[in-house]
Amino acid sequence: MGIKRSVSMFFWISWAAIVPAGLYLTYLYYPPAEIKPLDMALFLLLAAIITFFPITINGITIFMIQWVTLAALLSFNLFFSILILQLAIVLLMFRVRIGKTDLYRIPLNSLMFFLASTISGMIFFAFGGQVGDTDLHHVILPAAIHEIAYFILNHLLLYVSRNMIGLKYKFFGADLTWETLAIMMVYPFSIALFFLYSELGVVAIFLLGVPFVSVSIVLRKYNSTEKINDYIQKAVEIGHELTQRLKVDEVLDLFIQKISQNLPVDYAYILSVEGDELDLLRRVEMGERKDNDLIPLKKNQGISGVVWAEGKSVLFNDKSEWSGIANGYMPPNVESVLSVPIMRNQETVGVLLLASTRKKAYEKYQLMIVDMLCSYFAVAIENGRHYEETKRNSERCALTNLYNYRYFENLLTREYGELNKGNLKEISLIMLDIDHFKVVNDTYGHQSGNEILVEMADRLSKLIGDYGTLARYGGEEFVILLSNVNKEEASALAETVRLTIANRPFTLHSDLSDERKRLMVRITASIGVATAPQDADDALSLIRHADRALYIGAKRAGRNRVAEYLKT
């Protein structure tokens, strides 16, 4: 994770001020008791190998380098012990593949381990520890105190540093438990290595180093298998969650959320095949959803276009591997890229592209996991689209594409509930009926009447927009529901609606003539207005009173007019 530039600079400055000078001073005051190039090289090699094969237990990675550094302290002196630890830090940073935003971890870890090893080394000497002393009774207590001091200092420094960079760190957490157990294992190994080295020389490094590294490798392989099984189990659970979502947006959001929780994802893009183009469906960058305003891709255009064309997953460990393929948009700080085709019925229906600012952020086995997730995702998206289409069809008028009677009544009931709770002040309802619509049907044919209804819906939709909810109530009747709009404002809008209908002729084609001529016909409408709570105590009463105003106040008064409901 990235941190504030000021904090990063503090770590670098602190490292530059303390570590180089500290190394020089420890060399002056605690130099190697005897220079043995081969022996020292083998100690360094053992430390390097251990760094590359950590032991992972319950998801917590433990680097057991301490058993080598303590043996080096007992055999050579503090300076060499610190030197081994600093080399291990460099190798560790290389192994975990830190990105540019995490470079602060180099000086931070180097400084932490330098302080912990230096202070614990001084405590070792303060309690009577001596370099090269092969009397077990003289070694056992200072070495134990050294390990305890190092353990406490390391966790104190971790606690302080994590809080400085904004990470929550529990001092008495799972890490502490496993580190305690690790120290209990490291301590006898260190003592054993020191005494065997004192008696047998470099052979001791092989006698203890080979089995230790072998066990580490076996545990690493076992952990990889466990990790893959864990990922597969999580993929199945995520798949079930996805298929339970009914809305497309919910499926997209959950998919990105779960992918980001289980993989190092800084950028995520879901693209959908639409004809001969690959359109952006969802775009999330650094945890934030962005607009889908990127240019569509063609087959073999860019990384996603190649994945679409070939139907095969790709994995790139750094920018140099994909820079020649990328075409179009790609954030400048991206290094690792993982892209998988989204398949349905053996056909590519989309592409998922994940990216990280870290190099080598993804493992090969993760391609299989993401491919599994994409299979679940494809089914969930298809189900979501089918559900939304079915829901849309059940709520919309097939002819005008306006909301229908069922949707309108459900909405009115919900709005009335909000009114009763006090969340809305008033609700106004405009109901209109086309005048003499039967004459239109009888004169020009029912298809011509449908043309009038479609144009009416279009005019009203453009006029109302998001100001209210427009629905076809039935036949030639339309309703407009207005939340927090009083009767005076509703009546004014109703008059605008009336003029919009009456002042411009409608276009139709006569179905009853052989030539099906294009005609311009004048249409008018009668409109009734009612407002709750003053005009009605419930939703059905509001509909009934608006209908009453329409037929008694407008139709009977001559049509082509607006009438408000008046209590009698």
Burial class for 414, CB neighbours closer than 10 Å (0-12, 13-18, 19+): exposed
Determine whether 476 is an active site residue.
yes
Separation of alpha carbons 85 and 59, rounded Å: 23
Q: Which of 179, 335, 476, 564 is labelled catalytic?
A: 476
DSSP 149: H
Residue whose structure tokens are 């870890």: 109
Separation of alpha carbons 520 and 506, rounded Å: 6
At residue 50's C-alpha, the angle toward residues 48 and 55, to 5°, is: 150
Tell me which residue of 415, 540, 408, 563 sits closest to 478, measured CA to CA. 408
DSSP 297: B
Separation of alpha carbons 308 and 339, rounded Å: 10
85, 245, 275, 384, 475 from 388: Cα distances, Å: 60, 11, 21, 6, 26
* 8 Å CB contact between 215 and 56: no
Question: What SS3 state is found at 290?
Answer: coil
Residue 386 has a CB neighbour count (10 Å cut-off) of 12
Residue 534 has a CB neighbour count (10 Å cut-off) of 12
Per-residue burial over 226-243, b if 16 or more Cβ lie within 10 Å, else e, is eeeeebeebbeebbebbe
CA 276 to mean position of chain CA atoms:
28
Q: Which residues contact 141 (CB under 8 A, 6 or more apart)?
A: 127, 128
Could you give the residue numbers annotated as active site? 476
